[in-house]
Amino acid sequence: MRKTVGLLLVVFLVLHFNHHVVLRSDCFTLDAVPSNEQPYRTAFHFQPPRNWMNDPNGPMYYNGVYHLFYQHNPFGPLFSNQIYWAHSVSHDLINWTPLDLAIAPTEPFDINSCWSGSATILPGNKPVILYTGIDSENRQVQNLAIPKNSSDPYLREWVKYTGNPIINLPEGIKNDDFRDPTTAWLADDGKWRIIVGSQKDKTGIAFLYQSIDFVNWSRYDSPLHQVAGTGIWECPDFFPVWVDSTKGADTSVMNTRVKHVLKVGLWDYSVDYYMIGNYSPAKENYIPQNELTLSTLRYDYGKYYASKSFFDPVKKRRILMAWVNESDSEADDIAKGWSGLHSFPRSLWLDQNQKQLVQWPIEEIEMLHENKVSFQNKKFEGGSLHEVQGITAFQTDVTISFKLTSLEEAEELDQSWSDPQLICSGMDASKKGKLGPFGLLALASNDLSELTAIFFRIFQKEGQYVVLMCSDQSRSSTRIGLDKTTYGAFVDINPQHDEISLRTLIDHSIIESFGGGGKTCITARVYPSLAIEKEARLFAFNNGTESVVISELSAWSVKKARINIEETISCTDH
């Protein structure tokens, strides 16, 4: 059935794209921004050569090449009402080469912007893109594009379907409340499915659509899921995860060995939340095991939004990326000439307890490792501070694991302390406790007037131990006018049996931290004025009164990747 559907689909698409609307690609080069004039531009995180960037769009692997599209204003460093799809390619997910713009607002169905969407590889190895267009009447509608030449592994030119939009605004939905189609999945009945984010009367909605030919779509009677009071759902993602493996599953996998993740971005809060549950395509029924609330599961408890995942068939894994916006002002963005980063790619899988996801930097980062330093079994008395030397502290990958020897000394967690972020804000790294704070001081200046503290505290609550993880930006810069929010979250580990581990990627103005082996992730943007380049330092510390043992610390300098440094790719290089 699937082979028949695939053949019919390819024929249908060819017939219906015979009159092209083409955005040309001329294989050009631009001047790269000198890194020595831009201390906050990163060394190994994805960002554009210049100007505004937000959501990752349509990531995929096709004919030996990884593709990443992203929301982009090519004319300036601020958000615009004319957003394009920019396009970069990679062979290793580390080094990225920019291509010409892939999709531009040129037609009545997208004239006011080409917003976020997804890529799907159809049977016969045919890539297609679904994206939201803001049409001439400022309505959000869903559109289709295919490569002009699918034999080009770089997919440099894209053709818009002349019958766009393929999905119109549903009746009763406001013009600007219907966006961001997901990667499609194919069920055993031969029908493709996608969801599109929406809302009605503050009820967040994941509308479900079905299609045989990928062009004619019908809305299912009931949404895949909806939750009252959550506002607009945008940038949804829906994919399977194995219950018994850390490998990734293709989006169309449906069997008893998988659960399904529904991720939604809540625009009102700029936060990505996710649910884990059971999906039945026969009943079009999704039952989450954790309902969506503002205290439910998040990919990341810091600055991390509009995330997008894709299945990597090369290494059989699911990879996740997200937009990490700026924490400085628009005036700063104009002065820099750019705005926005993407998180470092993460592998994602279901934890053994099947209650949450685990995320970890992709293994390719090891290509950039150099100058390793390490030590083991170092006892840290209360008040200890140890500088990690021999690495480039401005761009580094560091892992540290702690053993606790006196858990009975853990303080009682006040019953009124339910919000971990508020606890971290009220009990920053300078506040002594018993078991904690202990962790890392990143991007620290020589006099410690600037530092970002990533640390843990251990509490007792109702006979159980509670692990709190914090990322404290309150002293991250001596500059004023910055967002220096402190972030926090609990980590689902038992310190009686598990070491408390932390991995942190530090890259000029972004700090990504992974606690408990990737169970809790916190991303921060910081802009030190003293702790930059060679003046940046890295410390391990324990500011609790009880001693802890560093069972192991390993750190590497991270070499600079080639990210969107323009170079000419031959237009005949297929």
309-367 tens-digit pLDDT: 999 999 999 999 999 999 999 999 999 999 999 999 999 999 999 999 999 999 999 99
The predicted pLDDT at position 378 comes to 96
Same domain flag for 121 and 231: yes
C-alpha 437 chain-centroid distance: 28
How far is Cα 304 from Cα 344, in angstroms, rounded to an integer?
11
Q: Considering the domain boundaries, does residue 274 fall inside one?
A: yes
Residues with catalytic roles: 55
Q: Considering the domain boundaries, does residue 567 fall inside one?
A: no
Same domain flag for 447 and 374: yes
Q: Considering the domain boundaries, does residue 572 fall inside one?
A: no
Same domain flag for 353 and 369: no
Mean pLDDT (whole number) for 142-168? 97
Q: Considering the domain boundaries, does residue 148 fall inside one?
A: yes
When divided into structural domains, the chain yields a total of: 2
How far is Cα 113 from Cα 298, in angstroms, rounded to an integer?
29
Q: Considering the domain boundaries, does residue 31 fall inside one?
A: no
Per-residue tokens: 115 = 């917003």
The predicted pLDDT at position 33 comes to 42
Q: Considering the domain boundaries, does residue 455 fall inside one?
A: yes
> Which amino acid is it at 54?
N
Per-residue tokens: 321 = 């990326």
pLDDT reading at 30 higher than 60:
no
Residue 96: closest CA among 574, 505, 506, 565? 565
Q: Domain range holding 502?
A: 365-558
Minimum mean pLDDT range among 30-44, 275-289, 444-458: 30-44
Mean pLDDT (whole number) for 162-177? 98
Return the C-alpha torsion angle 60, 272, 523, 487, nearest 10: -170
Same domain flag for 318 and 453: no
How far is Cα 125 from Cα 113, in angstroms, rounded to an integer?
28
Q: Percentage of residues in the chain with pLDDT exceeding 70?
A: 92
Same domain flag for 491 and 447: yes
pLDDT digits 0-9 by tens, 469-501:
999 999 999 999 999 999 999 999 999 999 999
Q: Considering the domain boundaries, does residue 571 fall inside one?
A: no
The predicted pLDDT at position 296 comes to 86
Extract the runs of DSSP E, i.e. beta strands, from 243-328: 258-266, 271-280, 285-288, 305-312, 317-324
The predicted pLDDT at position 26 comes to 38
Mean pLDDT (whole number) for 90-106? 98
Q: Considering the domain boundaries, does residue 30 fall inside one?
A: no
Q: Is the pTM of this model over 0.95?
A: no
Same domain flag for 235 and 376: no
33 DSSP assignment: P
Cα separations in angstroms, 323 against 101, 116, 119, 345: 19, 12, 17, 11
Are the beta carbons of 311 and 290 closer than 8 angstroms? no
CATH of the domain at 343: 2.115.10.20
pLDDT digits 0-9 by tens, 510-533:
999 999 999 999 999 999 999 999
Reported as a pLDDT band with limits 50, 70 and 90, residue 377 is very high
CATH of the domain at 403: 2.60.120.560
Q: What is the 3-state secondary structure (H, E, C) of 205-229?
A: EEEEEEECCCCCCEECCCCCEEECC
Same domain flag for 350 and 404: no
Same domain flag for 349 and 386: no
Same domain flag for 259 and 390: no
The predicted pLDDT at position 260 comes to 98
Instruction: Find the helix or strand (DSSP H, E) in which 16 lies.
Output: helix 2-16
pLDDT reading at 19 higher than 60:
no
pLDDT reading at 164 higher than 90:
yes
Same domain flag for 433 and 288: no
Residue 454: closest CA among 498, 422, 424? 424
Same domain flag for 343 and 370: no
Instruction: Find the helix or strand (DSSP H, E) in which 14 lies.
Output: helix 2-16
> Which amino acid is it at 75?
F
Cα separations in angstroms, 225 against 13, 54, 193, 203, 291: 30, 26, 14, 10, 10
Same domain flag for 442 and 528: yes
Reported as a pLDDT band with limits 50, 70 and 90, residue 230 is very high
Residues 6+ apart with CB under 8 A from 509: 39, 40, 41, 42, 341, 525, 526, 527
Mean pLDDT (whole number) for 102-131? 98
How far is Cα 237 from Cα 118, in angstroms, rounded to an integer?
9
Minimum mean pLDDT range among 16-25, 152-161, 426-435: 16-25
Domain boundary among 317, 345, 361: 361
Reported as a pLDDT band with limits 50, 70 and 90, residue 294 is confident
Residue 355: closest CA among 248, 261, 228? 261
Reported as a pLDDT band with limits 50, 70 and 90, residue 567 is low
pLDDT reading at 219 higher than 90:
yes
Instruction: Find the helix or strand (DSSP H, E) in which 333 lies.
Output: helix 330-336
